[in-house]
Amino acid sequence: MASSAQGTKADSAIQGIRGNGTAILPDESRIVNITPENIEAVPITRTINEKALSSNITITALDIGAASIEQGNKADSAIQSIQGNGKIIQPDFNRSVVITPENIGAVSIERKINNKALTDDVTLSALDVGAAATEHGAHVPAVQVADNSVFLRNDNSWQPVTPENIGAATEEQGQKADYALQGIQVNGVHVSPDINRYVNVTLEGLSAVPAARTINNKSLDADIMLTAADVGAAAINHEHSAQDITSGILSVEQGGTGASSAKIALENLGAVPKTLTINDKPLDSNLSLSAQDVGAATAEQGQKADTAVQGVKVNGELLTPDEENFVDIEITEISGATAEQGQKADSAVQGVKVNGELLTPDEKNVVDIEFSEFSGATAEQGARADSAIQGVKLNGTLIEPDDQNIVDVIVSESASSAVIYTAELATDWENGESGEYLQTVEIPGILGTDNPVVDVILSDVLDEAKNQIEAWNFISRIKTADGSITVYCFEEKPTSVIEIQLLCVR
């Protein structure tokens, strides 16, 4: 049978999967494969105008073969026709408007006035027009210089020439004519003007629809979203009550039974009748079978049985339990030690040695050690020994101590002096180029040629002195320079401040 934990998992297990209200059936391995189709979604490989739905898409006018908003704006503001001197100038078969002097009521610069071409300013004399000079009679006005801005009227008066009185276009009209559109195209197709030389751009020509067009009574003046109700359809996840369904068989995939009888429906759905019982318990609701229901031991009882003592022996002899299956052991009867005595025995010192020699305890099993008997040093003496100077060098030469282990440094008369410097090595070490640690300390007066004897100035406090000795062991090299020393640590760097003394013999 299943364990209690497995039963709990079974109670909380998912009993079925639905997509948009429709049951998704598992395969033969009891695995439910959910696809976009069975949840009425579209796959991300679906495309809109050849653009995949794997990410957000933006459809442009170019994607749907339409004109852009900018192109539409240009079409709206395009010049619809060209007029010259009040008359519409018709475009040619290429829908280009060609402006000539004739169609704007002007004359060509090749036109002549009394055989004088208009390529330059023209000055007509009385002789040129077959008239008498002004000296011929008082009725003849004085001779004036004629040009393209003044002409002689029939009444012998001079009149300024304007575009209006010669049927020509003004300068402003000429500029407009220079910049007039030569043709109009819609979606790459040349649009011909009508008989009045107007270009009529229609919605059909633009492949567009009017903004007043409606889709299911919704205007296209803005984006629209049609729902199932707008098209007289039911929503995807709509429901029907049992009373509304009068005929037909709904498949299992559609949430039905796929059968017209209860027996076949149960077979299609892989179900059993609610009247079926499990250990006399009906299936009209979720069941929870206990160990008692199936005549089995509880999980707790099973665990106790697995870990139960199957027998007890004392000194190799199996003891018989009483009627309640209890075995009562008296320690005193079997000459055994108590639990407390056993713990003390486990942690007891089994022997004491000093300098490799096993000591014999007294009658109380106590070992009394006197350090004086074994020439042992005290802890304080040991600390001093650790910090003691191990040797003295003079100018790089080791000086041997005398029989009392005293080094006598004798400075020759030729030497000028023996100088002692002190310095403090802080904890702010720098990283060297080769992975070492280094620190430069300024010492006024010291020379680069000095080869000092260096020693640690130990603290009077024992723990501090031990830390100083440990830190001093990290020092690998001291190099002197004029006015400073550089200290090197090849492996580890000290984490404690060190006071040092430097003896320089010169």
Tell me, what DSSP letter sits at residue 388? S
The answer to whether the CB of 478 falls within 8 A of the CB of 454 is yes
Integer distance in angstroms from the first to the last C-alpha of the chain? Answer: 97
Mean pLDDT value across residues 184-213: 69
What digits encode the pLDDT tens for the residues 79-105?
667 776 667 777 777 777 777 766 666
pTM of the predicted model as reported, rounded to 2 decimal places: 0.24
- Which residue is it, tokens 């002689």? 152
pLDDT value for 441? 96
Tell me the C-alpha distance between 90 and 69, whole Å: 29
User: How many Cα neighbours within 13 Å face the side chain of 261?
Assistant: 3
CA 39 – CA 47 distance, rounded (Å): 19
Cα separation, 314 vs 336, in Å, equals 10
| pLDDT in the model for residue 60 | 76
DSSP 361: P
Nearest CA among 341, 319, 346, 344 for reference residue 330: 319
Contact 56, 62 (CB under 8 A): no
The letter for the amino acid at 213 is R
pLDDT band with cut points at 50, 70 and 90 for residue 412? very low
Stretch 406-428: mean pLDDT, rounded?
Answer: 72
Per-residue pLDDT tens for 315-360? 777 778 888 777 777 666 666 666 777 777 776 777 778 777 887 8
- Our CA dihedral for 225, 231, 234, 237, rounded to 10 degrees, sits at -20
Burial of 91 (0-12, 13-18, 19+ CB in 10 A): buried
Domain residue spans of the chain = 4-40+236-240, 250-281, 379-505
Instruction: Find out whether 183 and 91 touch, Cβ atoms under 8 Å.
Output: yes
pLDDT at 447: 94
pLDDT score, position 312: 73
pLDDT of residue 113: 76
